[in-house]
Amino acid sequence: MNKWIELERRFQKNQTIDKSVQQRVIKEREHWRGNNLPFRGENEKIYQRNNGNFLCFIQMMGKFDLVMQEHLRRIEKGEIHNHYLSHKIQNELIQMLAAEVKSKIVAIIKDAKYYSVILDCTPDVSHEEQMSFVVRCVDISTSPIEVRVSEFFLEFLKVDDTTGLGLFCALQEVLVSLQLDIGDLRGQGYDNGSNMKGKNKGVQTRVLEVNPRAFYTPCGCHSLNLVLCDMANSCSKAKTFFGVVQRLYVLFSSSIQRWAILKDNLKDVKGLTLKTLSQTRWESRIESIKPIRYHPSKLRDALVDLANDRMTESIAQSEAKSLAKNELENFEFLFAMAIWYKLLFAVNIVSKFLQSEDMCIYLAIEKLKGLIDYFENYRKVGFAEAMVDATEMANEMGIEPKFVEKRIIQRKKQFDEDVTDEVTHSAEESMKVNYFLVIVDKALSSFKDRFQQFEVYEKNFGFLFDLEKASSSDECLKNHCTNLEEVLKHGGVSDIDGRNLFVELKCLKQVLPRGVQKPIEVLNFIKLMADSFPNAWNAYRVLLTIPVSVASGERSFSKLKLIKNYLRSTMSQERLNGLAMLSIENDLVKEVDYTNLIDSFASRNARRVIFK
């Protein structure tokens, strides 16, 4: 009788699902989507071959879990037909979980008020253009825990129009659907594509027309990559150097036998092998140069062995001899390798640093300044250092550490020319003037051109970077505050009052604990006193909201390739977004209240209750 009363009560509430079973099913779905593994197989039947990871794991649970064991028994005996294991139920639960996480993220963003958008595009396996939509904000919802800068993935947007207008319209639509006010947008982070950063028709320009306070930041990592591209294309010798590095990899990787010869010569070296040159991430080319830089003699020996191997084709033998004799035994090549290794190493460190999710603009500017200082200093001492490194490699290989003097082709003089007008250089001087200084000077000029926007941010927000070092002159500090008020003004309304900000900062400098000077530290200090320092509270939040790179967007593409691979190329956009949300925002999924989720699922899907 009690069972019938319970059934009647559940029918009235529209909740007739066995929660104990459903709880286990949801937990299992969490496991598979967290590891980006496929759910389904060739069929959807329990205890059938090739029925997929999901059902196989259900079967395994049935061996140890009594609730699941009884559920499977009833399915197998035909006692129940609503078993909650079909692909439709999977999709429904995935969407419910993803919607729960998304709603929590949107609540965090609205609580933060100011936010930035990070957009990046890539084609997927089904040849559809996917735009990753990531939002950055200062998360102040973690009371009483410290505030933190967070970047949240929200969804992939399938875009058919990749022009600046098309992407801008897609951005507007998603902001409206999430009920996020574009007027609160304080930052834009894109790559260096013309459709994104274009000054006339790019996305950033169209957004600025609507909201001038949505400050655009070109991706710092992409900009570093372009600096290296500029350096490599600055002279023919640089192009030739990277061509040789790629030739080495292509030669050995073309067959198993050749790679075996390489491995045999590098058997005493752990963790190093030849790698192909990345066409998109130039800073990562250091991994391609590293084995050549530290083991040139072993690579030369591998080339000699390959050239003398009777099983090797004649073309490959010729290529191996050419690389061994004309390149690795060429002091000019060793010198170039010493230069590029140090420069790529320095850039790679900063690039990795900028990819951090909580990276802030003031830290990025600090690191970039340090990198520019390194290049300026390397311009003074780098040539001598490279000569020392190249000489060590040459001595190890038993070759003369000397540049080859090349015969100068005499040009016919005109009758009014003086012979003394022609400047001649030794081989070493020529290498310094026509190679070393060319690439370093190109780097310094490229840094200035590609990071102009960072200089603008330093001009407008620099006085907030470190309060201890902030201008001691009241007049200067007041001018900075007034200028920032104008920068953050739109439609006659500003995020701050410059005069009041000046007063608040003067007060903060007196009361801040020792060692608390950086923006995130100051923000945490005034979190519980936001009403007392409203202008400082707003100014620091805007500063920390500005993005530095689009690394979070690119990381989401890694998940995209795992989730939507060639075996799952027909996956719907809705399922893709659901699985991507649960995989990328895994930490938030762990905070979901499954009891409420099951109640919601049950109320939407009234099914027959299970009776013993």
Q: Name the phi and psi angles at 382, rounded to 5.
A: -65, -35
User: What pLDDT score was predicted for residue 466?
Assistant: 83
* Helix, strand or coil, per DSSP, at residue 145: coil
How many alpha carbons lie under 13 Å from residue 493 in its C-beta half-sphere? 4
CA distance 55 to 61: 10
Structure tokens at 186: 């304080």
User: What pLDDT score was predicted for residue 317?
Assistant: 92
| Pairing label, strands 129-139, 115-123 | antiparallel
Domain ranges of the chain: 2-91+594-604, 93-218+548-589, 225-405+426-449, 454-545
Are the CB atoms for 241 and 234 separated by under 8 Å? no
57-116 pLDDT per residue, tens = 777 777 777 777 787 788 777 777 776 777 787 788 888 889 999 999 999 999 999 999
CA distance 337 to 190: 33
CA distance 124 to 408: 54
Rg (CA), the chain: 31
CA distance 96 to 327: 61
Are the CB atoms for 317 and 254 separated by under 8 Å? no
The rounded Cα 75 to chain-centroid distance in angstroms is: 46
How many alpha carbons lie under 13 Å from residue 456 in its C-beta half-sphere? 11
| Pairing label, strands 185-190, 148-158 | unpaired
Are the CB atoms for 68 and 24 separated by under 8 Å? yes
SS3 per-residue string spanning 38-94:
CCCCCCCCCCCCCCHHHHHHHHHHCCCCHHHHHHHHHHHHCCCCCCCCCHHHHHHHH
User: What pLDDT score was predicted for residue 17?
Assistant: 46
Give the helix/strand (H/E) hosting 155: strand 148-158
User: What pLDDT score was predicted for residue 22?
Assistant: 55
DSSP H helical segments within 330-360, as ranges?
A: 331-354
User: What pLDDT score was predicted for residue 415?
Assistant: 57
CA distance 234 to 387: 21
CATH class of 93-218+548-589: alpha beta
CA distance 249 to 611: 67
CA distance 28 to 94: 11
pLDDT less than 50: residues of the chain: 1-8, 10-17, 32, 608-612
What does DSSP assign to residue 420? G
